[in-house]
Amino acid sequence: MKLQILILFSSLIGLSLGAGGGIGGSSGSSAIGSPTETENTRLFKKDQSLLLTCDYNATNVETTWKKNGTEIEPNDHFQIHSNSTLNITSQTESDLGEFSCLIKGPGEEEKYFYLVDLQLHKHLPKSTTVLENDKLKLSCLVEGNPHPNVQWLKDGEALQPDENNTRLVFSANTYNVTNAILLIQPILKSDYGNYVCLISQHSLHLNTTTEVRVKDIYAALWPFLGIVVEVTILCAIIFIYEKRRIKPNLAQADMDDINEQKNAADHSNETEVRQRK
């Protein structure tokens, strides 16, 4: 009997764990993302040097370099070479921003560069499960200087709050990046789909995706009903088994009783006989 109770409890625990795992479960996140630099948008690397080249074919030219619109005076920090290259000898946060260059000569065009800091601290989970009528909060943990643009896509289409969709709310994340948090409340069945946080900063692009699954409330109830059914069946099995085991024992006990009574009767007869003697 003890063994059966043990089996019953262990299966109960197993079932409830299985049911619990189904709700709100989201699989592990992958490695932290970093975008690939482009020729014109460079990622900030503290204390490292940075070379910006206006024209790779240029030699012995005079180049004007500007930082955020102000002409750069060459010094130890900014070196301007005759091959149209600007060398920032050791990057500091104050170098973040826009650079432009113009080679002296007819028909030359200004060229723009951006030095930015951009980090995605965490990817969205591969999947996110929400109960119908509950709320969904997706946070894009991106940080950047200057702040990057964040846009949310659902199955490839841009999400925007409008007069017909007041369930959507966008807000800034802890790094003050606007639109980085998406809140949908309440969640409808039709909200399932692939949600992409699209990050862009000049020519750098990054994204992270989660598959949103919507569970209806009854779906959450099924595992519970499963437990109830299993417990009922197990109890019935134990009950029947115990009943079958006790029956032959009872029959045996009855036989013993009868024998004892018989013996007792024989005994009393004997004494009677002895007394008669």
Ligand X SMILES: *[C@@H]1O[C@H](CO)[C@@H](O)[C@H](O)[C@H]1NC(C)=O
Choice from 85, 91, 128, 179 touching ligand X (CB under 6 A)? 85
* Per-residue x/- track, 183-212, ligand X (CB under 6 A): -------------x-x--------x-----
Q: In the complex with ligand X, which residue's Cβ is closer, 81 or 154?
A: 81
Least CB distance from residue 113 to ligand X, whole Å?
14
* Per-residue x/- track, 135-174, ligand X (CB under 6 A): ------------------x--------xxx----------
Least CB distance from residue 190 to ligand X, whole Å?
16
Q: In the complex with ligand X, which residue's Cβ is closer, 182 or 215?
A: 182
Alpha carbon distance 84, 64 (integer Å): 9
What letter represents residue 248's amino acid?
P
Provide the 3-class DSSP secondary structure of residue 125.
coil
Provide the 3-class DSSP secondary structure of residue 118.
strand
Site for ligand X in 4-43 (CB under 6 A): none
Q: What is the dihedral of CA 245, 251, 254, 259, to 10 degrees?
A: -120
CA neighbor of 140 nearest in space, from 161, 121, 116, 153: 121
State yes or no: residue 76 binds ligand X (CB under 6 A): no
Alpha carbon distance 115, 92 (integer Å): 11
Tokens 């948008």 appear where? 41
Helix (H) or strand (E) holding 66: strand 63-67
Count of residues engaged in binding ligand X, rule: CB under 6 A: 15
Least CB distance from residue 133 to ligand X, whole Å?
23
Choice from 29, 64, 83, 149 touching ligand X (CB under 6 A)? 83
Least CB distance from residue 102 to ligand X, whole Å?
15
* Per-residue x/- track, 97-116, ligand X (CB under 6 A): --------------------
Is 105:54 a contact under the CB 8 Å cutoff? no
* Per-residue x/- track, 45-64, ligand X (CB under 6 A): ------x-x-xxx-------
Tokens 């065009």 appear where? 109
CA neighbor of 136 nearest in space, from 67, 63, 187, 60: 187
Residues with Cβ < 8 Å from 169, sequence gap 6 or more? 161, 182, 183, 184, 185
Least CB distance from residue 85 to ligand X, whole Å?
4
Least CB distance from residue 210 to ligand X, whole Å?
13
Least CB distance from residue 65 to ligand X, whole Å?
13
Alpha carbon distance 159, 166 (integer Å): 12
Q: In the complex with ligand X, which residue's Cβ is closer, 136 or 198?
A: 198
Is 101:114 a contact under the CB 8 Å cutoff? no
- Residues lying near ligand X in the complex (CB under 6 A): 51, 53, 55-57, 81, 83, 85, 153, 162-164, 196, 198, 207
